[in-house]
């Protein structure tokens, strides 16, 4: 029995937007190698009238239109019958924030189904009836869920086995250990009178590791102290009190 590659199924009224950026760089190359697959479903194909209507006016009044539950319900059911697997995700600014740990959970599964909302949103009944998980990529509003779905899929696909050649690099990234990533440097060694920190030129792996850990803590303390508050054994008021050299905030 052949195992199907990790598959992202996207429900949208603009399926032509996909793969878009997902067809390039790491995600695109991985798709060419069949490490993952993308299925874009046109929600209008599941409308019941000749105009292929997917929305209607909201009960209770108000501006804008709301996406119909019957159309979305049929689209979800058809996708499931077609073999689509994984959790149902609705990209919404009121959803739980997307995190690196959630992306890893999704990468460990068989795939996902992402609903891209438009207009004023989606009828609440279909979200409840089909068990959608609402996911947000930030505290802002987009014109639709397609770009958010691409962000979600890209964040997940890059964690799939074989997509990134150096698996160790994933362990060094921001959020992988609860911290933001330490600053990176490359050639030239001196640029506009700014030098690469000496410790990185020392060749002493343990000193470099310790410096990077200290810098990751310091950058996180300054920019995202909320992350430190979530880590066991770290106090955002005291972590990073010992200032490491070459502070990136001071240049």
Which residues of the chain are modeled with pLDDT < 50? 168, 233-251
Phi, psi of 104 (to 5 degrees): -65, -40
**Among 33, 125, 29, which residue's Cα sits nearest to residue 76?**
125
Residue intervals of the chain classified under CATH 3.40.1280.10 are: 6-157
The C-alpha atoms of residue 106 and residue 87 are separated, in whole angstroms, by 8
Domain 6-157 fold: Alpha/beta knot (3.40.1280)
Which of 1.10.1270.20, 3.20.20.80, 3.40.980.10, 3.10.20.30 is the CATH number of 172-229? 1.10.1270.20
Phi, psi of 134 (to 5 degrees): -90, 130
Go through the chain and tell me how many residues it has.
251
Answer yes or no: is 18 a known binding residue. Answer: no
CB 6 within 8 A of CB 111: yes
Kindly provide the residue ranges of all beta strands, DSSP E only, lying in the chain, ordered along the sequence: 6-12, 36-42, 55-56, 66-67, 88-97, 111-116, 133-136, 190-191, 194-195
Which residues, listed in sequence order, are joined to residue 113 by a DSSP beta bridge? Answer: 9, 88
Answer yes or no: is 137 a known binding residue. Answer: yes
Answer yes or no: is 56 a known binding residue. Answer: no
Q: What's the pLDDT at 241? A: 39
Q: What's the pLDDT at 240? A: 42
| pTM for the whole structure | 0.85
Digit-coded pLDDT (tens) for 3-39:
899 999 999 999 999 999 999 999 999 999 999 999 9
Which residues, listed in sequence order, are joined to residue 8 by a DSSP beta bridge? Answer: 38, 112
CB 7 within 8 A of CB 109: no
Answer yes or no: is 140 a known binding residue. Answer: yes
Answer yes or no: is 59 a known binding residue. Answer: no
Cα dihedral 169, 170, 176, 181 in deg (nearest 10): 40
**Among 89, 92, 47, which residue's Cα sits nearest to residue 68?**
47
Residue intervals of the chain classified under CATH 1.10.1270.20 are: 172-229
Q: What's the pLDDT at 229? A: 84
**Among 147, 139, 83, which residue's Cα sits nearest to residue 117?**
147
The C-alpha atoms of residue 224 and residue 151 are separated, in whole angstroms, by 21
Answer yes or no: is 109 a known binding residue. Answer: no
The C-alpha atoms of residue 235 and residue 136 are separated, in whole angstroms, by 27
CB 112 within 8 A of CB 151: no
Answer yes or no: is 127 a known binding residue. Answer: no
CB 174 within 8 A of CB 184: no
């Amino acid at each position: 029995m052949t195992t199907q590659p990790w598959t992202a199924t996207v429900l949208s009224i603009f399926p032509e937007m996909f793969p878009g950026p997902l067809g390039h760089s790491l995600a695109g190359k991985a798709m060419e190698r069949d490490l993952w697959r993308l299925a874009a479903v046109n929600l209008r194909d599941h409308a019941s009238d000749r105009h292929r209507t997917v929305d209607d006016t909201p009960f209770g009044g108000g501006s804008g239109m709301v996406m119909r539950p019957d159309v979305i319900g049929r689209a979800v059911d058809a996708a499931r019958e077609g073999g689509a697997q994984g959790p149902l995700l609705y990209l919404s600014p009121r959803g739980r924030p997307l995190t690196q740990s959630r992306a890893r959970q999704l990468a460990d599964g068989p795939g996902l189904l992402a609903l891209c909302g438009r207009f004023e949103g989606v009828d609440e009944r279909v979200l409840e009836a089909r068990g959608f998980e609402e996911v947000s990529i930030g505290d802002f509003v987009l014109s639709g869920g397609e770009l958010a779905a691409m962000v979600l899929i890209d964040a997940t696909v890059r964690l799939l086995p074989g997509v990134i050649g150096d698996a160790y690099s994933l362990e060094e990234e921001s959020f992988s250990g609860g911290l933001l990533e330490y600053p990176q440097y490359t050639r030239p060694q001196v640029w506009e009178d700014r030098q690469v920190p000496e410790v990185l030129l020392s060749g002493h792996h343990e000193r470099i590791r310790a410096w990077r850990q200290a810098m990751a803590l310091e950058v996180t303390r300054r920019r995202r102290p909320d992350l430190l508050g979530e880590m066991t054994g770290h106090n955002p008021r005291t972590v990073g009190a010992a200032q490491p050299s070459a502070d990136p905030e001071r240049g």
